Structure formats: C-alpha cells, structure tokens
Amino acid sequence: MKDVFEELEAEVAQIVVDRKHDEIKRKNLLISNDNLIAECLSKEVFSIETNSELNVARFTEMHVA
C-alpha cells in the first residue's frame, strides 16, 4: 500500500513540474509574441513614414515643374 502512495506522490510531483514547465513556456511565447508585435508595428511606422516622404517628394517635384 505504501508503494502505491509513493507512486501517486511521484506522479503528482511530476505533474506539478510539467505544469510549471508549461507555464514558463507559455510566458516565453507571450513575450515572443509581444516582441513580434512591436517589431511589426515599428516596421509599419517606418513604411508609412517612408511612403509619406516619397509622396511629398513627388508632389514637390510636380509642383516645381
């Protein structure tokens, strides 16, 4: 009977370890996701600014000519 309880305790301990591992993995994925979102937003802002500058330059060329 004691062996059964020890086996159950070992299984519970492993489940706790697995759960903590999964929680850490999930948090790391959320951090990676946040970093990817920030990178995409940064690139989008750069793209918008670049397009805006190009449009101003084209408009200026047309207006001057």
- What is the C-alpha separation between 29 and 3, in angstroms, rounded? 39
How many Å is the Cα radius of gyration of the chain? 28
For tokens 């999964």, the residue is 22
Q: Tell me what pLDDT residue 60 has.
A: 84
pTM of the model: 0.67
- What is the C-alpha separation between 31 and 27, in angstroms, rounded? 6
Q: Does the pLDDT of residue 45 top 90, yes or no? A: yes
Indicate the pLDDT class of residue 37, thresholds 50, 70 and 90.
very high
- What is the C-alpha separation between 13 and 5, in angstroms, rounded? 12
